[in-house]
Amino acid sequence: MAAFLVIDLTDSHQPWTRATAKAGQLLAPWILYLLTAVWLTWPTAALMTSAVPLGLEGEATVPLFNLWTVWWNIDRLGHGFHDYWNAPVFHPAPLVFALSEPQPTTVVLAPLYWITGSPTLCYNVAILGVMTLNGHAAWSLLRLLKTPWWLALLGGLLLQRLPFLFWQMGVLQLLSLAGPIWTIYWLVKCCREPRWTSAIGLGASFGLTYWACNYYGLLLSISLGTSFLLLVVSGWPLLPVWRRWQPWACLAGAGVLAACMIGPMARVQQESAREQAWHDERPLDLARNLSARWSDYTWSLTSRLGDYPTAIEPARQNVWRLGCGAMVTVLGCAGLIVGLTWRDRRLLTCAVLTFSVVSMLLSFGPDYEIMGWPPSLWLRDHYPGFAHLRSPFRFGVFAQLGWHLLAIQGIELFTPSRWPLEKRWPAPPQPSQAQRGLHAAICGALWLPATILAGLSVYEVWPLPQTCHSVVAVSPRPAWIDYLLRETDEAEALACIPFPDGTDARAYESTTTWMYWQTQHHRPLINGYSGFFPDAYLDLRDAMENFPDDSSISQLAQLGTRYLVIDLDAVDLESFENTPLFADQTELCLKDLPSGVAIYRFTPRFVGPIPDAL
């Protein structure tokens, strides 16, 4: 029956028609996944320059921080990446950009920023871009695995709307699932076609995964590496394909390329870790609180087809919605069973199952043990970078990815290509118009069960419309921004007041708003937000709770503060001005009432040594 699925409507007298059809087949997935990316993230596309999506984030801290990260990458590209790691936050601490996800892949948005000058537009284009890439990468992987074209399109959409991605929509780097999917794609190519092109593809894909999201690079190396070791122990290398030297040479070459791409970034991050003592920022209790439980995999992001049985453990502080939905769960079980019976998918099914299970077990964090042995604690002590892992539940994205691949295999069971009838009903060599219509009707009917199953799987956990956070337009520029550009030197540091009054992300939303405005004035900030914080900043943050007093004034002076930028809506400016310590060491430069911002020149009487923590 497969012969009926594609009927050649061209002839030798119209070669351009063949070329057009070929181009259409290449462009169709890109167009489809761009449109579905717009639909999935709506209303983001309608607010490209005025708002950013939050996902399930309760505040705009992380989206605004990632918006600033996109801007900094583009800005450094224009300066030849000079001082790339010495970002203008937490002044004057060095290497502070290594304290968070640098995301250098976002430099591809530089032309758009140079034309429009809108960091918000660049950020939203990045979201739509990575979502489109996710769908196309999934489609490419499924086609490599010989999944029928129509099912591969629907399967790409199924993976594009992976529940984890929309739960974490406010965290730009966690949307970059195309890198891991490309890594799996080229790993399969290395097994099937061990050539130098496959080695380059695999190495570059893993390197890009780390560039786009350090978290995914670290997690993928552990999940894939552990799965590979388990398959080796089970006798996988005894298979004929692995008795040759070419696959091993291909993997070695890919490893060298990936190391060349990741090594320079990892070296700076390790240096920054030593400088800032990262180990103090990731206590074991935090990892426990941010670990998944088995019951979390029974809770999905949405359930549009009705409720299904869920479980919850008592006294849980957090419930991580890591479930795939009832349809995908059941179809994944079916895909596992049939995959073990299909000779052409048996090894791949074992690999995907191992990858998914390993990822799920690692998402349970430090409390999970295998016969008394805690794998996460062992990795924490022996695997570089794992000790700095804050959120083990993020392994769940790969558990979802693996199970969705099995679910697509389960749907494939219902396609004509897997039915014995296919081989007994060849298409006529020159079908008439009536036969073509009949063939199309029959094919549509035969493909209907698989299409319905795929459609229901996609729909069941289809995300709700995005909640968006409004961002103030950068044009026209506020008066206080114009003043800084006109009257201050680029090297003069600003302290933006008030400082955070807590340690959670919500408390830092005002800080990331100041960082958003930094994209316009380009002056270094004493403030900042990141995955880790320099010790000197933490000391200053605590001291600023009593500002203005001797301790806060002294620390601001030691850090090289030259101007105080004050949010008039958040502080009692009159009480500051009535404090002699503040009045004697500041001079009002500008009070921008429409923007609610005042700027003071800071002239401390005494400047002590810069703290040793820097």
| Whether pLDDT at 282 is above 70 | no
Q: Is 60 exceeded by the pLDDT of residue 3?
A: no
For 78, 106, 144, the CA distances from 147, given in Å and listed in that order, are 43, 32, 7
Q: What angle do CA 73, 78, 84 make, to 5 degrees?
A: 45
Q: DSSP alpha helices (H): ranges in 363-478? A: 375-382, 396-412, 433-460
Kind and range of the H or E element at 469?
strand 468-470
| Residues near 158 by beta carbon (within 8 Å), at least 6 away in sequence | 138, 328, 404, 407, 408, 454, 457, 458
Query: 407-464, pLDDT tens digit by residue?
Result: 999 999 998 877 765 554 555 667 666 766 666 677 767 778 888 999 999 999 899 8
Is 304's pLDDT higher than 80?
no
Is residue 86's pLDDT more than 50?
yes
Residue 13: per-residue pLDDT? 46
Question: Quick one: pLDDT band at residue 71, thresholds 50, 70, 90?
Answer: very high
% pLDDT > 90, the chain: 62
Residue 49 near residue 121 (C-beta atoms within 8 A): yes
Token pair, residue 2, equals 């497969």
Q: Which of 173, 178, 187, 166 is nearest to 138 (CA)?
A: 178
Closest C-alpha among 300, 13, 52, 340 to residue 172: 52
pLDDT greater at residue 599 or residue 315: 599
Instruction: State the pairing for strand pair 561-567/493-497.
Output: parallel
Share of the chain above pLDDT 70, in %: 87
Mean pLDDT value of segment 18-29: 79
The string of DSSP letters for 531-592 reads SS--HHHHHHHHHGGG-SSHHHHHHHHHTTEEEEEEETTTS-HHHHHTSHHHHHHEEEEEEE
89 Cβ neighbours under 8 A, 6+ residues apart = 96, 515, 518, 524, 525, 527, 528, 529, 530
Domain-wise residue ranges, the chain: 479-602
Long-range CB pairs of 438-447 (<8 Å, 24+ gap) are 439/4, 439/7, 440/4, 442/1, 442/4, 443/1, 443/4, 443/5, 443/416, 446/1, 446/416, 446/419, 447/150, 447/415, 447/416
Helix%, strand%, coil% for the chain, nearest 5:
60, 5, 30
**pLDDT at res. 315:** 52
Q: Which stretches within 277-374 are classed as H helix?
A: 284-289, 326-341, 346-362
- Chain mean pLDDT for the chain: 87
pLDDT at 10 (0 to 100): 40
Residue 143 has pLDDT above 80, yes or no: yes
What tokens were used for 453? 């199953």
The pTM score is 0.90
How far apart are alpha carbons 380 and 377 in whole angstroms? 5
User: Which of 57, 46, 126, 52 shows the shortest CA–CA distance to 470?
Assistant: 52
Give the HSE-up count for residue 327: Cα atoms under 13 Å, Cβ half-sphere: 20
- Which residues, listed in sequence order, are joined to residue 567 by a DSSP beta bridge? 597
> Residue 104: what residue type?
P
Residues in CB range of 601: below 8 A, 6 or more apart? 562, 563, 586, 587, 589
Per-residue pLDDT tens digits for 506-559: 999 999 999 999 999 999 999 999 988 998 999 999 999 999 999 999 999 999
Task: Read off the tokens for 303.
Answer: 């359930």
Position 309 confidence tier, pLDDT thresholds 50, 70, 90: low
Cα dist from 524 to 25, 88, 534, whole Å = 49, 4, 15
pLDDT the model gives residue 271: 86
